[in-house]
């Protein structure tokens, strides 16, 4: 991708609008014209900002899914006692608010055309989850590595639930997290 052009505020506005159109119509059924119309600009104006439709897809997916992560982590437990609230509420909240976004993300990042961008995005996920774990470590009084592992399990369970409404899988994963927390407590944690 080339250097970013245009107003940063407009870029973000266009990324959000294009992502919404992509979510509504799917990767294969969304045209540049549809995205430009949603942004209330011409195709040329949209391409001025992003150069290609592919760049719009790549940037919009990365930007908007990072915002989903931030929303997820803003609701993170405030202390050890708050973990159960988080486990009970978050799968349903994120499914309702972001399920359609996860669908698009997997369409984009599982496409051979965008697979390398998916790898790059998920390397960033690893870094961000480590940062989240570091922030939570002192609040929860737990080691960073343990929290980061639990984040992966929990997020995967939430995303799977958002995609497939598979409550059995969700409950099994949540129970695995609860059992792990119990074992952690018995071994002298918290």
Instruction: Flag whether 34 is in a domain.
Output: yes
**pLDDT the model gives residue 1:** 46
Q: State yes or no: pLDDT of 3 exceeds 80.
A: no
pLDDT at 190: 58
Question: Is residue 177 included in any domain, yes or no?
Answer: yes
Give the count of domains, the chain.
1
- Measured distance CA(69)–CA(94) in Å, rounded: 10
What's the CATH code of the domain at 50? 1.10.357.10
**pLDDT tens for each residue of 46-59:** 999 999 999 999 99
Instruction: Give pLDDT tens digits for 19-72.
Output: 999 999 999 999 999 999 999 999 999 999 999 999 999 999 999 999 999 999
Domain that holds residue 27: 8-186
In a domain, 2, yes or no: no
Establish if 43 belongs to a structural domain. yes
Predicted confidence (pLDDT) per residue in 79-122, tens digit: 999 999 999 999 999 999 999 999 999 999 999 999 999 999 99
**Cα radius of gyration (the chain):** 19
Residue 129 in any domain: the answer is yes
Q: Is 51 a domain residue?
A: yes
Task: Taking residues 155-168, report their average pLDDT.
Answer: 97
Residue 124 in this model has a pLDDT that exceeds 80:
yes
For residue 1, tell me if it sits in a domain: no
Could you write out the DSSP letters of every residue in 116-147? HHHHHHHHHHHHHHHHHHHHHHHHHT--HHHH
CB 15 within 8 A of CB 67: no
Residue count (the chain): 190
Sign of CA dihedral 67, 71, 73, 74: positive
Q: Is residue 3 part of a domain?
A: no
């Amino acid at each position: 991708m080339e250097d970013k052009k245009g107003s940063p505020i407009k870029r973000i506005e266009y990324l959000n609008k294009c992502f919404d159109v992509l979510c509504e119509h799917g990767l294969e059924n969304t045209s540049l014209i549809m995205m430009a119309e949603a942004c209330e600009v011409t195709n040329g104006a949209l391409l001025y900002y992003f150069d290609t439709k592919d760049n719009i897809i790549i940037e919009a997916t990365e930007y908007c899914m990072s915002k989903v992560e931030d929303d997820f982590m803003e609701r993170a437990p405030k202390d050890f006692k708050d973990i159960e609230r988080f486990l009970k509420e978050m799968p349903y909240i994120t499914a309702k608010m972001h399920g359609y976004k996860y669908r698009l993300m997997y369409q984009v990042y599982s496409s051979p055309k965008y697979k390398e961008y998916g790898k790059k995005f998920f390397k960033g996920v690893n870094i961000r989850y480590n940062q989240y774990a570091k922030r939570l470590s002192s609040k929860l009084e737990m080691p960073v590595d343990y929290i980061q592992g639990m984040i992966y399990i929990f997020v995967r369970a939430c995303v799977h639930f958002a995609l497939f409404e598979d409550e059995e899988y969700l409950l099994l994963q949540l129970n695995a997290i609860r059992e792990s927390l119990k074992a952690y407590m018995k071994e002298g944690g918290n």
